[in-house]
Chain A
């Protein structure tokens, strides 16, 4: 579904290179976790896949269903079914969740040749999805993220994901700042949304969400590259031992590489 090839990315404003050759394949039906220390480029990768214009791709490619998406606007990527749950969900005062989501849902439906929903149909549909993240109907009528607590914002992202039903979702640190109950709710939502036809990439600092969401693959990102890939056990080892040992491995490989 998603194929990232030797992706190099720098910040448009000052040219700092953040991603230095990322390779990643995500198939449908899979859940991946990307872990790594602060500043390793995890969040940047999510934003670049979503089409954030502040970054420039200098080398490599991102293929979605076999087609390059590099030239597509963020909304065009969304129309293909790419979703990003934001690390810091943005507030839009005066615009209700319902209004935003209905407009978003219908735009995507239109682009994908599916039927649009009128306000009443949409309300019924949204109510169903609210249950997935254990949110009250009032949530629909509140302004998007305005005055929400940190936990509510994160749950709202998963709710939006449930409503828009994307094919590929990047969840950028959706688990950060959640207490254990909220974490369970969010993880439960992800599990219910995840199915054989879609894929989820969890970008996270912590192993703990992986106690509730079972990943097929765990990647460690160090200094702009995927340094190591493994299964759930890798995440546990990272939690116990930190990232130093992975960094040491990377360093010795590159030293050896240079010696050859």
Chain B
């Protein structure tokens, strides 16, 4: 196999999660208008204030334009042709309390994805919320977490059972009208996870949500809200996959994190949505707003992402460093292949004194893909002693891909220290030959080179998932040598 072919097959490794699950859905009309939004709210049995939240967001969204500044090209989604709510039919119309009440087809789906929902089969110490299209199917280890005072459930359940907390924080980090896709999400958001860690509590388990888009007609508009009270800690991970369809599906999520005094939140993502075929047909449009608010002094929010899927990615997990001495981190690996396009990065907004942020971004492009890093570091006038350190490294595999870096640095405080480093390298045939000469298969050689390149970021993932991420990179880049 020539090296070019090998690299192509590595980046173009077969997508293992592309199957569909045959389930019966509740009927729901396509399109978006006030009635549809009221209907979503009604089906979810939401209180009036949530319906109002949605309608206000919808009003804002109607006034907004789809952003055209990202370095990606795609055909704009037909918003009237999307089904904004997609729930499976259930026996008694209730979310199952027991694993045995979950539709066997769906249980099998998660089994196939390597996420068994039976607690005894789970990895030790990880609780899972399984979100299938628009709804949370099942959440494991709820009782065990409750003993520690940690609330881990779907956002829909949280609205029913803990409305006072949701009301206080929903939209407080990402306002309804923040941007086009955040406004759309605020209007039609379906399910997502809710995490509340009370004061002085270290969450006893890793929390994770596994998102699955199954319905071809629908989009996924999940909403996640994580609140960590004073002196508390939590580590949360999300994973995403979808079937292979010819059509593009829209995934417009919003994630809000609030960290109070001395609180620490670690949020990790392994994003492996279907990325379309070699010709760029199909795949997920991943337009996501993720933001954390270090509200208390000495708080810390850390984003780690491994982005390998989606046809188009538009995503900037950010941190507002409001509390003094608070810390924001962003560790990212973004891999694009074939015709994938990614425009991803972060924003670090320094408001408090002696706030620190670190950005480590590793972009890997192969095939005919385009991979852009876009990051903003903003130091406000009162952020005395603020520090930022950024590294953006790009790796090119082959001759037909692109890597771009768009750093924006804005400092209004003379005592701040901002450092930015960037590099671009190419996986060389000499590197591959060297490793082959030592006995390694070409794909293993590339995998090793890429893993070495991403090491600093992969090390930040929770241990249980680091292995997964490692494998995923290998599959993703199988046979893509240039």
Q: Which residues of A contact B (CB under 8 A)?
A: 50-54, 73-75, 77-79, 83-84, 86, 88-95, 99-101, 103-105, 107-108, 111, 143, 160, 164
Binary interface profile of B, 421-462, with partner A (CB < 8 Å = 1, else 0)?
A: 000000011110111111111101000110111111000000
**A contact residues around B433 at 8 Å (CB):** 50, 52-53, 74
Known A-B contacts: A52-B433, A92-B448. Give 19 more (CB < 8 A): A51-B436, A53-B2, A54-B429, A73-B1, A73-B436, A75-B439, A75-B442, A78-B437, A78-B439, A83-B437, A86-B434, A93-B452, A93-B453, A94-B453, A94-B455, A99-B448, A100-B435, A104-B435, A143-B452
Query: Do residues A104 and B431 form an inter-chain contact, with CB atoms below 8 A?
Result: no
**B contact residues around A74 at 8 Å (CB):** 433, 436-437
In the bound complex, how far is the Cα of B444 from the Cα of A78, in angstroms?
Answer: 15
In the bound complex, how far is the Cα of B436 from the Cα of A87, in angstroms?
Answer: 16
Q: Which residues of B contact A (CB under 8 A)?
A: 1-3, 428-431, 433-442, 444, 448-449, 451-456
**B contact residues around A88 at 8 Å (CB):** 430
Query: Do residues A103 and B436 form an inter-chain contact, with CB atoms below 8 A?
Result: no
Query: Do residues B438 and A90 form an inter-chain contact, with CB atoms below 8 A?
Result: no
B450 to chain A: closest residue by CB? A94
In the bound complex, how far is the Cα of B428 from the Cα of A73, in angstroms?
Answer: 17
- Residue of B431, B438, B439, B454 with highest tally of chain A CB at under 10 A: B439
**A contact residues around B431 at 8 Å (CB):** 90-92
The smallest beta-carbon distance between A166 and chain B, in angstroms, is 10
**A contact residues around B449 at 8 Å (CB):** 92, 95
- Closest 5 A-B residue pairs measured CB to CB? A94-B452, A95-B452, A74-B436, A104-B438, A94-B455
In the bound complex, how far is the Cα of B251 from the Cα of A141, in angstroms?
Answer: 42
19 CB-based A-B contacts, threshold 8 Å: A53-B2, A53-B3, A54-B429, A73-B442, A74-B433, A74-B436, A79-B439, A83-B437, A86-B437, A92-B434, A93-B453, A94-B452, A94-B453, A94-B454, A94-B456, A95-B449, A100-B448, A101-B438, A104-B440
**B contact residues around A105 at 8 Å (CB):** 439
**Which listed residue (B435, B439, B442) contacts A108, Cβ 8 A?**
B439
**Which listed residue (A54, A86, A95, A104) contacts B451, Cβ 8 A?**
A95
In the bound complex, how far is the Cα of B140 from the Cα of A168, in angstroms?
Answer: 57
Query: Do residues B437 and A84 form an inter-chain contact, with CB atoms below 8 A?
Result: yes
Query: Do residues B438 and A164 form an inter-chain contact, with CB atoms below 8 A?
Result: yes
**B contact residues around A52 at 8 Å (CB):** 433
In the bound complex, how far is the Cα of B444 from the Cα of A53, in angstroms?
Answer: 18
